[in-house]
Structure 1
Amino acid sequence: MRYSYAFKRKCVEMYYQGLYPDTPDGICGKEFHRTIRKWVRIEESCGPEALKHKAQNKVWSPEDKYALVARVLSGESNKSVALTSGINEGMLYQWVRKYKIYGYNGLISKPKGRKSRDPDMKKIGTREPKKLNESEYEELIRLRAEITYIKAENEVIKKEIALREEKEAARLKAKKQQSSKNSVKKDTH
């Protein structure tokens, strides 16, 4: 259930007075009291503003994630580190798990979503490339011709290597047959 900032503040103030508000329908009393105690700890460590709903989630850099993971690895509990930093305990648990498996690289955010089937597909909102001036256009033509020449040169080199390998394989096969003939001659004498 999502609670308003005013409701959370009222619950925290009542807790300081030694009272609990009425438990909302459909929620276990123990769980609701545990949630209020969690709000109190968040407010004590981060201030009352931490209870407000954020319009947008904070983007954590790998360095910030590592600082929190290092605190957990040095012996602090997941819960205390999560509460003092104002993040969800499950998120911190995932960061620690990824750090243990992949190291620092596990803390670097990966792009979301699945890859496009057609990588050449035009993205919505992309700009048209600017027009080239005459010297840039000539340079483009020259570079394309150079790439074509280099590709052809690579193909020739690959064919030469393949021919060399074929010749070497034929030579080794002939040598093996020659040595097997010689061993058969020695056995008959």
Structure 2
Amino acid sequence: MAKYTIDQKLEAISMYESGQGSTTICHKLGISQEATILRWKYLYETYGIDGLKRSNKLPSYTSSFKMEVITWLVKNGASFPVTARHFDIPNEGTVWQWKRRYDVHGFDGLADRRKRVSNMSKDNKKLRRNDDQKKLDSDDKIKQLERD
């Protein structure tokens, strides 16, 4: 379950637009960070109600796109939130992570680490089991010969 409901997010945005300060709103609604309200406001203005819904699927970005974002960030001396908005990336923390990984690992650090090698096919598992069984059988034969 999401930490905040859409109704809570809309209430916070409404309070902010009516002139209440983000610190006051955070205290009233139990929101931990003031920047959260500003992010919700931006998402709502940009994407409407869909921007406030929690997505189960994370977007996938290519390494070259990530490099383009980092290059723009450095070249323009922009902040992470400004860069995220410029490239239509919903969360500025994503840009921060890319920059950190690039600083540590270079371009290779920007590769999508979510892609995993697919599981071994059933046919390969059977072959592997057969190979393991043959090895056990040959080991048993050797042990029996050693006993004799």
CA distance in 1, matches of 2:11, 2:96: 30
Q: Compared with structure 1, are the counterparts of its residues 127 and 2 closer, same or farther at alpha carbon in structure 2 (3 Å cutoff)?
A: same
CA distance in 2, matches of 1:34, 1:110: 28
Q: Give the C-alpha shift of residue 43 in structure 1.
A: 3.0
Give 5+ residue unaligned stretches, structure 1: 116-121, 130-189
The secondary structure found in structure 2 opposite 1:47 is helix
CA distance in 2, matches of 1:111, 1:38: 25
Name 1:47's counterpart in structure 2.
47
Q: Give the C-alpha shift of residue 103 in structure 1.
A: 2.8
Q: Compared with structure 1, are the counterparts of its residues 111 and 24 closer, same or farther at alpha carbon in structure 2 (3 Å cutoff)?
A: closer
Q: Deviations over 1:105-143 (max 9, x none)?
A: 221123678x9xxxxxx83xx2437xxxxxxxxxxxxxx
Q: Deviations over 1:40-99 (max 9, x none)?
A: 23333x32222210021112221222232122212111132235521242x322211222
Given the alignment of the two structures, is residue 87 of structure 1 paired with residue 91 of structure 2, yes or no?
yes
CA distance in 2, matches of 1:95, 1:103: 10
Give 5+ residue unaligned stretches, structure 2: 125-148
Bigger radius of gyration: 1
CA distance in 1, matches of 2:101, 2:18: 41
Q: How many residues align?
A: 114
Runs ≥4 residues deviating over 6 A: none
Identity percentage over the alignment? 21
Correspondence list, 1:1-189, <5 A: 2-19=3-20, 23-25=28-30, 31=33, 33-44=34-45, 46-48=46-48, 49-74=50-75, 75-83=77-85, 84-89=88-93, 91-110=94-113, 123=120, 126-128=121-123
Superposition TM-score, scaled by structure 1 size: 0.48
